[in-house]
Amino acid sequence: MLIFSKYLFIGKSFNALTIWPFIILRDKELKLDRVVINHEKIHLKQQVELLWIFYFIWYLAEFSINLFRYRDIMKSYYHIGFEKEAYANEFDPDYLKKRKFWGFLKYYK
Ligand SMILES: [Zn+2]
């Protein structure tokens, strides 16, 4: 389910946000961006697999640990396992068809 909102995004770093069952995009043209949509669909899948709430707990915990470790917001974000999986596979339109359950785990090795 796609929602559009300019006001949710502060700064220019992020264009999309996924909170199951919604993908929130900064502007309407982004819905045509297959890479962005694929990236966000990977997050939808991760959220469902972790029963939603555990995804956000895990995401925030990992982000906090990374922030402590790297002292850099963007670096901390890119080092979250869920983001590593999404960035590594966003260009593959068939990724979600072949992905294994809890596929993000392999990005923690
Ligand atoms: Zn992401």
Residue 37 CA to residue 12 CA, distance in Å, equals 18
Ligand 1 centroid to residue 44 C-alpha, Å = 10
Q: Please, which residues have CB less than 5 A from ligand 1, an ion?
A: 83, 86
Indicate the burial class of 63 (C-beta count within 10 angstroms; 0-12, 13-18, 19 or more).
middle
State if pTM tops 0.85.
yes
Closest CA relative to residue 18, chosen from 10, 71, 26: 26
Count of structural domains, the chain: 1
Residue 54 CA to residue 43 CA, distance in Å, equals 13
Ligand 1 centroid to residue 43 C-alpha, Å = 7
**Which domain does 97 fall in, by range?**
2-108
pLDDT digits over 50-95, tens only?
Answer: 999 999 999 999 999 999 999 999 999 999 999 999 999 999 999 9
On the CB side of 8, how many CA atoms lie within 13 Å of its CA? Answer: 14
pLDDT digits over 5-48, tens only?
Answer: 888 877 677 889 999 999 999 989 999 999 999 999 999 999 99
Three-class SS of residue 17? Answer: strand
**Who contacts 72 (Cβ-Cβ below 8 Å, separation ≥6)?**
none
**How sure is the predictor about 99, in pLDDT bands with cuts at 50, 70 and 90?**
very high
Ligand 1 centroid to residue 87 C-alpha, Å = 7
> What are phi and psi for residue 24, nearest 5 degrees?
-105, 125
